[in-house]
Copies of this chain bind each other. A is one copy, B any other.
């Protein structure tokens, strides 16, 4: 490894670090995985530097693992086989705002809130919002979504084009600045969601959306889970163009109250938002309220000012930390199942019953308009019983999702935590994913140990 490290130290100077502090910084995670330290951290500033780093690593078979904000919940950024941690924090520039084409070209290290800050004066925004202030590169690599996917889609629908460094250091561009194309294999979508295992994203062209003229958000309280979830199902089936429709169970509300000092009644809630013209928004809200009232909505509080709306969604985005408040000092395993909307009530009801039966402490929160919800389980990894029970619960929930025609991961990806379900979800297709991996990364240097389970 030493020859490559000398090359990289010469290339990057102080932006190549082997100190314990630098390694430890990129070895942590916000989920439940053990620390995993890279041998060194590289902080590239240009695509050419990324290409040179990957080429040097390819020559000696050194693993390369990209890291953005490090907020992933499945450990995708952890260098579990050592090697280089490719830290994109210094590739965080907006390269071009093409307002007239409703897109923006960025470097992958920029965090999502910084991107929207940079767009503010344009009247455009990028809606996708995982809870954390993730980097756009990490979001693309994990095919992330968030509260607005029900209206605007996920990273899958919003990456128009990208640049990537492939496993031998070659730089490629996929997609164009046009809105659609039928020319050739869709390498953009192959790389989006590939978790840095097929190529390293070095630039993204993202679709932007006009900031809606009218916005209306509201907090809806229900007395029970079934009523809230059935309201969601009918809302989606009715075709109402919800901008956001988030479910929170009573435990999640308790977490928010503990974390943010709120005073919401601790029963199931929906947080909703409507986007459109002012008249359109009023019309949508009225249609939604009629459905919600049919399901016995107990209370409706509109967030009328921009500040109220910001506070509402800031609270929602703190769910990961608010869940922690229910049982401080331990770790979180967040499940991420996504099911067909028609099976959502069954999935959530069974999940909650299973949790009760197994003595699981956790919260349920989700982007239920997509059929996606998270059980954030607090557990003590040092307690073997707690650990086993938690993983058993997650496994049974994942099996339930598959049985209902869904997926084990709506938006967090596979990383380290969900490899064991890849066979059950994909069947024979898993072998063809391996063929793609072997073809594009024959030496296996790109984020090894992630996504694809070891061959049995």
Contacts and interface: CB of A to CB of B under 8 A. Distances in A.
Given A182-B413, A432-B166, A406 B439 contact: no
A338 B180 contact: yes
Contacts of A440: 432, 435-436
Nearest to A402: B176
A177 B429 contact: no
B436 A436 contact: yes
A305 interface: no
Contact of A170 (B174, B183, B412, B428): B428
A243 to B, nearest CB: 13
A8 interface: no
Contact of A408 (B183, B189, B209, B431): B183
A407 interface: yes
A190 B190 contact: yes
B193 A182 contact: yes
Contacts of A237: 100, 102
The 9 closest A-B pairs by CB, nearest first: A439-B439, A210-B239, A189-B189, A177-B405, A181-B407, A100-B342, A172-B429, A178-B338, A143-B182
A343 to B, nearest CB: 8
A144 interface: yes
Given A182-B413, A414-B184, A425 B189 contact: no
Interface residues of A, number: 89
Contacts of A13: none
A233 B156 CA distance: 25
Nearest to A234: B100
Contact of A422 (B154, B184, B277, B430): B184
Contacts of A173: 426-429
Contacts of A170: 428, 431-432
A427 B173 CA distance: 8
A183 B433 contact: no
A149 B177 CA distance: 16
A421 to B, nearest CB: 8
Nearest to A287: B277
Contacts of A336: 182
Given A427-B172, A429-B173, A180 B145 contact: yes
Nearest to A236: B102
B411 A182 contact: yes
A409 interface: yes
A123 to B, nearest CB: 9
Contacts of A455: none
Given A172-B429, A425-B176, A186 B182 contact: no
Given A172-B428, A414-B184, A178 B209 contact: no
A192 interface: yes
Nearest to A433: B185
A241 to B, nearest CB: 9
A338 B179 contact: yes
A264 interface: no
Nearest to A123: B239
A418 interface: yes
Nearest to A185: B433
Interface in A273-291: 276-277, 279-280, 283
Nearest to A408: B183
A157 B98 CA distance: 23
Contacts of A154: 180, 182
Contacts of A190: 185-186, 189-190, 436
Given A190-B436, A439-B439, 8 more contacts: A156-B189, A170-B431, A178-B410, A180-B370, A181-B410, A183-B414, A184-B426, A186-B189
Interface in A367-393: 370-372
Given A239-B210, A436-B436, A418 B183 contact: yes
Interface string A331-351: 000001011111000000000
